[in-house]
Amino acid sequence: MHARLRAGLVIAAVVVASAIAGAAVDRNVVMRNVRQRGGGFGGGGDRRGPPPEMEARRRTEMLDKMTKELSLTPAQRAGLDSVFQRTDSSLRAIRRDMQPRLKQVFETSRAEMNARLDSAQRQKLAGMKFGGPPRGWEDGRGNRNGPPRP
């Protein structure tokens, strides 16, 4: 295989792996936050992604796997780590920028649902696990996984 073709394939693999890793981490964080906040309808909070130690562990695991499967040189590994760090940073910035917009969408959805349901239906919806508003959402205390927030 020609060196240029091999280099192109490695670069393509890095781009694809970065996208997959970023999407997987983002999805994992989103789902964990949904569970922690008690549902998928904007339970509050402002986490902006995984903690740095989790990002570092994920990067190391990914780099170890790629090093083994692609026989990466130390220079290639360092370069890929740099790509992963930039990807993580970009994803954090996107989440930070999107958070207010997402919060507004969830608040609007809650208000529209509230307008269409009676109080008994709102209470039942709050208890449903498919992503309805968390318990106590009507008065701003929503949190299924612990005591009401002050």
Please list the pLDDT of the chain residue by residue as tens digits (150 residues). Answer: 678 878 878 887 787 777 777 777 776 666 565 555 544 444 444 455 667 788 888 889 999 999 999 999 999 999 999 999 899 889 888 988 998 998 899 889 888 988 899 989 888 888 776 544 444 444 444 444 444 444
- Note the pLDDT of residue 59: 87
HEC letters along the chain: CCHHHHHHHHHHHHHHHHHHHHHHHHHHHHHHHHHHHCCCCCCCCCCCCCCHHHHHHHHHHHHHHHHHHHCCCHHHHHHHHHHHHHHHHHHHHHHHHHHHHHHHHHHHHHHHHHHHCCHHHHHHHHHCCCCCCCCCHHHCCCCCCCCCCC
- Note the pLDDT of residue 139: 43
pTM: 0.45
Question: Is position 83 within any domain?
Answer: yes
Question: Is position 51 within any domain?
Answer: yes
Question: Is position 109 within any domain?
Answer: yes
Question: Is position 148 within any domain?
Answer: no
Question: Is position 31 within any domain?
Answer: yes
As a residue count, the chain comes to 150
Question: Is position 65 within any domain?
Answer: yes
The whole domain housing 24 covers: 3-36+46-139
Cα 43 to Cα 1, 24, 131, distances in angstroms: 53, 22, 10
- Note the pLDDT of residue 41: 44
- Note the pLDDT of residue 129: 62
Q: Quote the number of domains for the chain.
A: 1
